[in-house]
Amino acid sequence: MTPLSGKHIVLGLSGGVACYKAAELVRLLGKAGCTVQVVMTEAAEHFITATTLQALSGRAVYTSQWDAREPNAMAHINLSRDAHAIVIAPCSADFIARLAQGRCDELLSLLCVARPLQRVPLLLAPAMNREMWLHPATQRNLAQVVADGAVSLGVGCGSQACGETGDGRMLEPAEIVEELQAFFSPRLLAGEQVLITAGPTFEAIDPVRGITNRSSGKMGFALARAAREAGAQVTLVAGPVALATPRGVQRLDVESAQDMLGAVEQCVPHASVFIATAAVADWRPAAVAAHKIKKDGTGQLPQLGFIENPDILATVAASRRAQEGALYCVGFAAESENLLEHARAKRQRKGVPLLVGNIGPATFGQDDNALLLVDEAGVQELPRASKHALARQLVAELARRLGAARAGLPREDMP
């Protein structure tokens, strides 16, 4: 289940080369649990065929307000009434102008104006040349459309089909789906400032070698995305991982445990929730060699001394804001055995209200996981599922615990 499960989306295509992305968008929306009804302008038909979109959506594509398939000849009414949302992607400068003026001279703009305003939201993914995007008329028209109740998803920046580079690219299909997931998610963490650490740390031995672990960062990144979907302002402090930053999340990249602690300490004064998902190295080399340590042919190993890294979670949990209840701390434990025993001990040792345990070797690098939630009242299992699904479950649990903690209730009395 995702926030889009069971949703019916009317996907409108206006004219623009970004229409080619609509095929992937339809596929991803279907994968997220949506049904998709495609409506195209005449200009859009110059860039992608209705046959392609019909094959991917499983529904006949509408292109004309005079479509004879509708018994009452009111496609603009019928198509808008069953929709949970109308998404225009790509939304051209011309189509934005049509919406701003309330023009109804073809099917797509007609159904946008005819939609029930209070029940069917209109979301726009603009796509155009950078100069067209920056033109005062475009910005003025978009501001008017937003003032009239539409939601602009924004634009991407990069190379454009015309050969120029800048703002105006349509968001990638996966980014649009992320925005829709967030749009339809309950705002369980609205007003919260969530700080999350994710991934491994890398402790240098010399300029080319170091000590790290197998953490992929996927669980922490999934939590960042789920917290943002739930309405939180999210800052993600990430160790060295090859993962895309979730939409709307501020990301700080670090390498070592000391780097991560420094970044966390800068962000803690503004955070209301701290989730320590990162697999931080417990030790680091006492000294880093200035140059690569070479074999000398003797068979003797280099002498490496180690010192203990700072305990980031314990440091934050002992801070004044955490002790006064202004900062709710959640720890993670990646174990290889005796998960419950070690998770309980770690929660007590770190002094945090909630500890989330998992079996590291069974989840590192994987797209799924199983979690054990340990607090002072007991244990709760979240069975194996995708990390995105578990992240949403954990965010819901966190929201309940936050509400109870701020109301001074024990867990068994939580709503």
331 beta partners: 276, 355
Active-site pick, 19, 91, 162, 329: 162
Measured distance CA(352)–CA(173) in Å, rounded: 39
Tell me if 346 is assigned to a ligand binding site: yes
Measured distance CA(246)–CA(395) in Å, rounded: 16
Tell me if 350 is assigned to a ligand binding site: yes
Query: What is the Rg, in whole angstroms, of the alpha carbon atoms belonging to the chain?
Result: 25
314 exposure class (CB count in 10 Å sphere: 0-12, 13-18, 19+): middle
The three-state DSSP-derived secondary structure of 233-258 is EEEEEECCCCCCCCCCCEEEECCCHH
Q: Are 314 and 349 in contact (CB under 8 A)?
A: yes
Tell me if 211 is assigned to a ligand binding site: no
Tell me if 176 is assigned to a ligand binding site: no
What residues contact 333, with CB distance under 8 A and at least 6 apart? 339, 342, 343, 346, 355, 356, 357, 358
Tell me if 310 is assigned to a ligand binding site: yes
Tell me if 9 is assigned to a ligand binding site: no
The question of whether 162 is a catalytic residue gets the answer: yes
Integer angstrom CA distances of residue 374 from 202, 319, 412? 28, 21, 14
What residues contact 35, with CB distance under 8 A and at least 6 apart? 7, 8, 9, 57, 59
Tell me if 292 is assigned to a ligand binding site: yes
358 beta partners: 334
Helices (H) and strands (E) in the chain, counts: 15, 19
Phi and psi (nearest 5°) for 169? -60, 145
Residues tagged in the binding site annotation: 282, 292, 310-313, 332, 346, 350
Residues tagged in the binding site annotation for CTP: 282, 292, 310-313, 332, 346, 350
Catalytic residues: 162
